[in-house]
Chains A and B, each alone.
Chain A
Amino acid sequence: MGGKLLKRKSASEVIVRVIAFTIMLVHCLGILYVFLYGFNASLKANGRVFVADPNSFAKELNFANYVRAFKEMRVNDNSYFQMVFNSVWYSVGGTLFSLAVAACSTYVVARFKNKFTRLIFNICIFVMIFPVVGAGPATYRLYVKLGITQTPFILLSGLNNLCHLMMYAFFSSLSWTYAEAAYIDGANDFQVFFKIMLPMALPSISVLFVSGVIGAWNDYTTPMLYLNKSFPTLASGIYVYERKIQYIANQPVYFAGVCLAMVPPLVLFAFMQNTIMTKVYFGGLKG
């Protein structure tokens, strides 16, 4: 009887589900269409064929476009694989560094309240709201003078204020009871942080890590300016590629390059989608 009650849906519920499903289906088809259009365009013979009828199906499968795109997608002698490698360490390394600094500093600021920690917090807020329009040349000058451009040390410049705010909010809301119990058992401050508080913060850190990596992976402006000579990432490589290929009027090769650039995040998502979606969904819940 209870099972039957659970299975029976009201008419309005069915209508809502149908409408929602239709909207989502149209949305998905729209996204798929863009991918399929690009893939179809990448198989056409040349720019002339593409421009003659951009919406037609490719008559032949010109996979040679992918070979050409792979060769064209080089930045300062860095190949596609090198750029993927650079993207991995730039996005993962930068995010990890940012999170490590955020976790350590916000834990201190949140748990040990005094004038000094309040000052640090206020500085953090002030820096966030300070307008940075036009700071590009000054920032570039600073980084060059520090000697961190064209080196992995540029990751030092990627500290994320949003991480600080979110970690601060999380640590502020954590119960101090766990820490007190650990102190009673003889733990020192480092042990309390690394063995008690940080593990409790892992769900939040996971969310920030995933969003941070995705953001850093797609960021092309910072690598363009500070890493392009020595360590171009895939995102900046695609930007350079797009700028160069526009003068060649061979749109199929352009689309082939775009399809190639989609491969690493697609592979990552295909294998990790459960983990990513779980972390995003449960990230707001503690421990």
Chain B
Amino acid sequence: MFGKSRKILSALLAVVMALGVGSALAGCNNDKMPEGKTVKLEISPFNGGYSLEWLEAVIAAYEEVRPEVYIKFSEDIVSRDDQVTEIMSGVSDYDIYMTGMNLHGKLYDGLPVVDISDVYEAIGDKINPAVVNWYNHDGKQYALPWSTSVLGILYHKDMFAKNGITVPRTTEELIAAADKINEVRGNGDGPYAFSYCSRDNYWSYLFNPWFAQYEGIKRYEDYWNCIGINGRQYDKSVVGYDGILRTLEVYETLLKPSNNYNHPSSKDSRFTDMQIHFLDGDTAMMVNGDWVVSETMKSGNYEIEESADVAFMRTPVISSIVETMELWTENGREYNKLSSSERAAYDAKLVAIIDAVDSGATSLAGVSDNDFKRVAEARWITPTMADGALTMIPSASKNIDEAKEFLKFMYSDAGIKAYNSNIYGTGLPVDYTQSEIDGLTGDSALLKSAYEMLSGAYLTFFWGGSDRVFSQNGLTPTWHQSKIYLDCFAATNPSDYRSAQDYYNESCTHIAASWDSVFMRNV
């Protein structure tokens, strides 16, 4: 029997080997240049939520303009770390890398990539200025974004309309909407307010916009240039920005287990599962990125690209912003110490200003110019993950000039058109007119809302800042060695739970203790 088993196994192995050899010979990768082509470019794209139809389209459009160029790319590059290893090694078969992670910190380690400042010059003023600033490293540009990745809170329009819920304009209204959803659900099987994925921390996408709204763009940028509240750069007082604590307080309310706002599966499931819960109407809202269009299209279960129901809401303005405005009259008191009626009164004033901003007004009777401008600025802050979608040319590329031409083309009118028509998400980070938006978005409420959030907005980036202290040494507003704030606020175990104030205090202690040894290394 044993001998017979071996014979059977040997026969099976022989068949498999034959099939494998046969397939390998039949499908041999022919790396020869096609006829008529004299230049070859190889692109290493990160194949994530957006797929690569947009890249195929841009390449096809480029090859029409430059018929002598042959461009090759692989659909199977799914490891961000391998891309980083290849670039860091300084030897590479690829001419262009389109990564899926923030590599700005690696520039300080001497990441061997080409200076593409001339590409930026050729593209001109098209690109959103926040992108140009963020990608600047020591006065030069080393990367272009290949995606904007607009982030925000998705919601079901029909569910809101059916239950008489106004689209939240402030975080107080967001919490009120969540309370209303809880009321609708009661003790039955109805929807929850939010779904999120604990493993991927999608809630954290809103940290920077809320922080920026509270502090204002100038102070927000000061923070990410590591300027402390005393005006000195690389000073420990950088932890003293009140916007950090105020943002944590919003999260504390949204995630507190006793508020029961979040779908029970949020802590244990993958992000795609939580997307399904949201799209199935098990939850009313979900923080997500515009890549959800592509991901759900590929699943074949939803027609989200034609849906008039699911859309982004403009990021609600953090209600405690009123503390920083001239209309605040509670000297010595903090916003979160006010009674609910007092907070409601301030929020009503804030909502009135927001409505005026949304209607296109430039002022509002009874509101100072400074306050109006503060709210207008806050209303037009849009979170993105463009800092994680870097297009770089490795120094080892044998076709640097051609690679640069390709990048210039990608941001030309023809390139943008090819890209935008084939990306199942928002287009590149440039401005769009309303007619362009209508042409690109069709019936999709989600894409329309994403484009509207993008145009003319101040963009915040998920990883925040490119200064060495942040990108290389790891400082973040809520740095804590072992506890992530979202998990602490959502913890049911009392020993793991932290209030916003406690978490903030612990975070400041950790930052202060590690300031010289960790964060000020090489500064």
Contacts and interface: CB of A to CB of B under 8 A. Distances in A.
A8 interface: no
Nearest to B13: A88
Interface stretch (B174-182, B241-249, B298-306, B437-445): B298-306
Contacts of A225: 82, 85-86
B29 interface: yes
B16 A244 contact: no
Contacts of A247: 48-49, 51, 272, 294-295, 298
Contacts of A194: none
B196 to A, nearest CB: 15
Contact of A140 (B49, B74, B85): B85
A46 B273 CA distance: 12
A190 interface: no
Contacts of B8: 271
A228 B23 contact: no
B89 A144 contact: yes
A137 B301 contact: no
Nearest to B301: A48
B244 to A, nearest CB: 32
Interface string B269-282: 11011011100100
Interface in B43-93: 47-49, 51, 74, 76, 78-79, 82, 85-86, 88-93
Given A47-B272, A247-B49, A81 B91 contact: no
B337 interface: no
Interface stretch (A57-65, A70-78, A114-122): A70-78
B19 interface: yes
A136 B90 CA distance: 12
A56 to B, nearest CB: 15
Nearest to B10: A271
Contact of A137 (B17, B78, B88): B88
A199 B47 CA distance: 50
A31 interface: no
B76 A76 contact: yes
Chain A at the B interface: SS class: helix
Nearest to A230: B29
Contact of B16 (A52, A81, A137, A232): A81
B20 A228 contact: no
Nearest to B273: A51
B78 A243 contact: yes
A145 B93 CA distance: 11
A46 to B, nearest CB: 6
A246 B93 CA distance: 27
Contacts of A46: 299-301
B17 A88 contact: yes
A182 interface: no
A239 B273 CA distance: 20
Nearest to B74: A76
Given A47-B299, A81-B19, A229-B74, A249 B276 contact: yes
Q: How many A residues touch the partner, as a band?
A: 35 or more
A77 B27 contact: yes
B388 to A, nearest CB: 15
Contact of A81 (B23, B79, B88, B93): B23
A137 B89 contact: yes
Given A48-B280, A82-B23, A249-B299, A268 B9 contact: yes
B21 interface: yes
A141 B91 contact: yes
B218 interface: no
A43 to B, nearest CB: 17
B20 A85 contact: yes
Contacts of B9: 267-268, 271-272
Contacts of B280: 48, 51-52
A76 B29 contact: yes
B50 to A, nearest CB: 9
Given A84-B20, A247-B298, A271-B5, A78 B276 contact: no
B82 A246 contact: no
A232 B24 CA distance: 11
B299 A137 contact: no
A205 B122 CA distance: 63
A88 B29 CA distance: 20
Contact of B20 (A52, A74, A82, A229): A82
Interface in A202-231: 224-225, 228-230
27 contacts: A47-B276, A47-B301, A48-B276, A48-B280, A51-B273, A51-B276, A51-B277, A77-B29, A79-B23, A82-B27, A85-B20, A88-B17, A140-B91, A224-B82, A228-B76, A228-B82, A232-B76, A243-B78, A244-B78, A246-B270, A247-B48, A247-B294, A249-B272, A249-B301, A251-B272, A251-B273, A274-B2
